[in-house]
Chain A
Amino acid sequence: MSDIFRDVRWQGRVKSSVTHALLILVSATCLFPLIWMFVSSLKTQQTIFSDMSLIPAHAHWENFALAWTKGHFGVYFLNSLFYTVSVVGGVLLIASLAAYAFARLEFPAKKTIYTLFLATMMIPVPGAFIALYVLLIKLGLVNTRLGYILPQVNGGLPLGIFLLTTFFRKLPKDLEDAARVDGCNKFQVYYKVALPLAKPAIAVLTIFTALGVWNEYLLAMLVLSDQKLMPLQRGFMVFQGAHITQYPLLMAAMTISVVPIIAVYILMQRHIISGITSGALKM
C-alpha cells in the first residue's frame, strides 16, 4: 500500500518538474530577446557582429549617451513622454466626465450615444486612418502636436467610457446623495465624490492608454514628418533608415524606450492583469 502511495507521489513530482521545466523554458524565450537587446547596446560597431558573449568584456555605456544626443533619441523620448501625458490626461478627463453622465445623469438620447461609443470598440474600420489623414490636412493639423494628440484622445475614449461607466454604476449612491444634500452641484459631486472613488478603474485606464500611445507608430508615420515632433517609435524607423549600420546605438535607444514601460509594468502589474481580464471577459 505504502509503495503505491510513494509511486503516486513520485509521479506527481515528475509531472510537476516537467511542467516547471516547460514554464521556465518559455520564460527564458520571453526574456532572452530583451536581454540580448540590452547586451548588444553595450558593444561597439566592430564587435557587435562577432562578439556573441552575453557579458561583453568592455561595456560601452557611452552608447546610451550617444543615442540620446547624436541619435536624437533624447528629443524623441521627451516627445513620447509629452504625447503620452497629454493623451492620458485628455482621455481621463473627457471619458470620466462622459462616463459619470452615462452612469448617473439623465439627458436626451443617452442610450443611443452610449451604444455609439461602444460600437466603435467592436466595429473595425481599417481604412479610417486614410480619411482621418484627409481630415487632418483640412484642419491644418498635419505635422503638429495637436494633430497627433487629438485623434489618440478620441481613440482612447470608447475603452475609457466603457470601463468608467461600468465602475460608476457599481458605486453605492449614498455618498453622492449625501453630497447633494450638502449642497454640491452635479459637477462637484462628480469631481469631489465619484472621481476619487474611481481610482482603481482610472489606474487601469491610465496604463492601457499610456502603453498604447507609447507604442503607437502608424499615426505618427502619417502625421509627423518633422523630426523635432516625432515620438520614439517613429524615431526608430527614421534612425534605422538613415544609419543602417549603427546597431549598438539603435539597441541602446530601444533599451531606453523599454525601461519606463517595464518599470511601470512591474509596479502596476496587478492593475494590468485585472484590466485585461475584466475588460476582456465582460465584453
Chain B
Amino acid sequence: MKPSTKDQATSFLFVLPALLLFIVFSLYPFYKVFQLSCFDWDGISRAMRFVGLGNYLEVLTQNKPYWISFKNAAYITLLALTLQNALALGLAWAVDRNIRGGHIYRVIFYLPPILSGIVVGFIWNWIFDGNYGLLNHVLAQIGLGSWSRAWLADPKTALLGVAIIHMWKGFGWGFIILLAGLQNIPRELYESAKVDGASETTVFWRITVPMMVPVFVLVSILTILGTMQIYDLIVSTTGGGPGYNTEVPMTRLVAVMLGEGRLGYACSMGVLFGLLLLFLSMVQMRLGKKLEKD
C-alpha cells in the first residue's frame, strides 16, 4: 500500500530541519568554494574580478609555501602511517592475547585522542622548550646536556617534534579500531592453526594480517585524511615556523585567507587540496580491494 500524498508530506517534515541546515551550511558553501575559487576577491569589497582558472594556475606555478606545506604534512602523515600505526597494531596485538588488565590499557591509550589539539600542543610545548623544557632538563641530568636545544624552534627538529606530538595524540585511536578488528577474527582459526603446529609469527602473517586488510585500509585512509588536515596542533605549538618548516596546508589556507585577505585564491587552494585527499583515499580503497582478492 502506497502512502498518500498528505502522509508523505508530513513524513517529509521529519527531515525538513536537517535538510534546511544542510542546504544552507553544507551545500551552499560547497558550491560557493568552487565559485569563489574563480574570482580575485578580498572578502570585503564589492569588486570581484573573474579570473577563471587563473587562481589555480597561480597555486600550481607560484605558490611555493603551499607546496612546502604539503611536503611537511606528507612527512608527518608518512610517520603516522608507519610508526604510529605499527605501534597501535603491536599494542592491539598484545592486548588481544587476553592479557590481564587489557581493559585498563584501553582506557589509558584513548586518553590523548579525547584531548584538544590546543591543550596537547601547549603541554608539549613546554616539554620541548629550549630554556625550561623538561626534555632538556632530563638530558642534562643523564649527561646528554650537549643534545639539548629548542626542539620546536630548531629547523632540524621542529617538524619531527610536531610529528611526535601528533602521533602521541593519535595512536590510541588506531589502537582501538585495530583491537576491535582483531577481536572480530574467529578464535577457532587461531586454535586450529595451533593444533597444526604453526608458530605465533606464522599465525600473525598467515591469519591475522590477511583478515585485517579491510581494517588496515580504513585506518590508513582515516590516518591520511586526519593528518593531512592537521591544524590545531600546529597553531598551538609552532604556528608553522621556524620559517616554513612546520607549515601545513591548513595553516596556509588560513594565512592566505586572513593574513593576505585573498579569499578567492584561498578557495582555489582548498579545492585542489580536497581533490588530492579524495584521490588519496580512492587509491587506498582500490589498493585494499586488490589486496583482499589476493
B118 touches A23 (CB 8 A): no
B126 touches A247 (CB 8 A): yes
Tell me if B33 counts as interface (CB < 8 A to partner A). Answer: yes
Give min CB distance, A271 to chain B, whole Å.
Answer: 12
Residues of A within 8 A of B110 (CB): 265, 269, 272-273
Residues of A within 8 A of B235 (CB): 217, 237
Tell me if A49 counts as interface (CB < 8 A to partner B). Answer: yes
- Tell me the complex Cα distance, A186–B95, Å: 47
List the one stretch of A2-10, A67-75, A105-113, A195-203 in contact with chain B: A105-113
Quick one: closest A residue to B175, CB to CB?
A: A26
Tell me if A55 counts as interface (CB < 8 A to partner B). Answer: no
Count residues of B near A (Cβ-Cβ below 8 Å): 93
Our pick among B137, B168, B184, B267 for the contact of A131 (Cβ within 8 Å) is: B267
Q: Can you list, as one digit per residue, whether each of B92-126 has a CB less than 8 Å from chain A (1) or not (0)?
A: 00110101110011111111101111111011101
Q: Can you list, as one digit per residue, whether each of A91-134 has a CB less than 8 Å from chain B (1) or not (0)?
A: 00111011011100111100001001100101111111011111
Residues of B within 8 A of A265 (CB): 110-111, 114
Residues of B within 8 A of A252 (CB): none
Residues of A within 8 A of B263 (CB): 130, 134
Scoring A49, A150, A218, A280 by chain B CB atoms within 10 A of each residue's CB, the highest score goes to A280
Our pick among B10, B26, B266 for the contact of A130 (Cβ within 8 Å) is: B266
Tell me if B204 counts as interface (CB < 8 A to partner A). Answer: no
Q: Can you list, as one digit per residue, whether each of A152-185 has a CB less than 8 Å from chain B (1) or not (0)?
A: 0111010001000000000000000000000000
B111 touches A31 (CB 8 A): yes
How many residue pairs link A and B with beta carbons under 8 A? The number is 251
**Known A-B contacts A98-B18, A126-B274; A276 and B173 likewise in contact (beta carbons under 8 Å):** yes
B274 touches A125 (CB 8 A): yes
Scoring A31, A123, A128 by chain B CB atoms within 10 A of each residue's CB, the highest score goes to A128
Residues of B within 8 A of A262 (CB): 111, 114
B22 touches A106 (CB 8 A): no
**Known A-B contacts A153-B21, A154-B21; A281 and B177 likewise in contact (beta carbons under 8 Å):** yes
Give min CB distance, A216 to chain B, whole Å.
Answer: 8
Give min CB distance, B114 to chain A, whole Å.
Answer: 6
A217 touches B232 (CB 8 A): yes
Tell me if A64 counts as interface (CB < 8 A to partner B). Answer: no
A218 touches B33 (CB 8 A): no
List the one stretch of B74-82, B127-135, B147-155, B186-194 in contact with chain A: B127-135
**Known A-B contacts A23-B95, A131-B267, A157-B18; A236 and B122 likewise in contact (beta carbons under 8 Å):** yes
Tell me if B243 counts as interface (CB < 8 A to partner A). Answer: no
Tell me if B161 counts as interface (CB < 8 A to partner A). Answer: no
Give min CB distance, A99 to chain B, whole Å.
Answer: 9
Our pick among B11, B30, B181 for the contact of A128 (Cβ within 8 Å) is: B30
A134 touches B43 (CB 8 A): yes
Residues of A within 8 A of B24 (CB): 135, 154
Tell me if B213 counts as interface (CB < 8 A to partner A). Answer: no
Q: Can you list, as one digit per residue, whether each of A11-55 has a CB less than 8 Å from chain B (1) or not (0)?
A: 000001001101100110111011011001000000011001000
B1-60 residues at the A interface, CB under 8 angstroms? 2-3, 7-12, 14-15, 17-19, 21-22, 24-30, 32-33, 36-37, 43
Tell me if B257 counts as interface (CB < 8 A to partner A). Answer: yes
Q: Can you list, as one digit per residue, whether each of A228-258 has a CB less than 8 Å from chain B (1) or not (0)?
A: 0000010011001000000100100010011
Tell me if A188 counts as interface (CB < 8 A to partner B). Answer: no
- Tell me the complex Cα distance, A61–B150, Å: 30
Our pick among A101, A126, A132, A186 for the contact of B249 (Cβ within 8 Å) is: A126
Quick one: closest A residue to B141, CB to CB?
A: A52
- Tell me the complex Cα distance, A116–B18, Å: 12
**Known A-B contacts A117-B18, A130-B270, A154-B25; A277 and B177 likewise in contact (beta carbons under 8 Å):** yes
Give min CB distance, B281 to chain A, whole Å.
Answer: 8
Give min CB distance, B198 to chain A, whole Å.
Answer: 16
Given contact pairs A49-B132, A122-B281, enumerate 5 new A-B contacts (beta carbons under 8 Å). Answer: A31-B108, A116-B27, A128-B26, A130-B270, A157-B18
Partner-B contacts on A (CB < 8 A): 16, 19-20, 22-23, 26-27, 29-31, 33-34, 36-37, 40, 48-49, 52, 93-95, 97-98, 100-102, 105-108, 113, 116-117, 120, 122-128, 130-135, 137, 150-151, 153-155, 157, 161, 186, 190, 211, 214-215, 217-218, 233, 236-237, 240, 247, 250, 254, 257-258, 261-262, 265-266, 269, 272-273, 276-277, 280-281, 283
23 pairs from A and B in contact (CB 8 Å cutoff): A20-B100, A26-B91, A36-B126, A97-B14, A97-B15, A98-B15, A100-B14, A102-B15, A106-B3, A107-B9, A108-B12, A123-B278, A127-B33, A128-B30, A130-B257, A135-B24, A155-B25, A236-B236, A240-B236, A258-B115, A276-B176, A276-B180, A280-B180
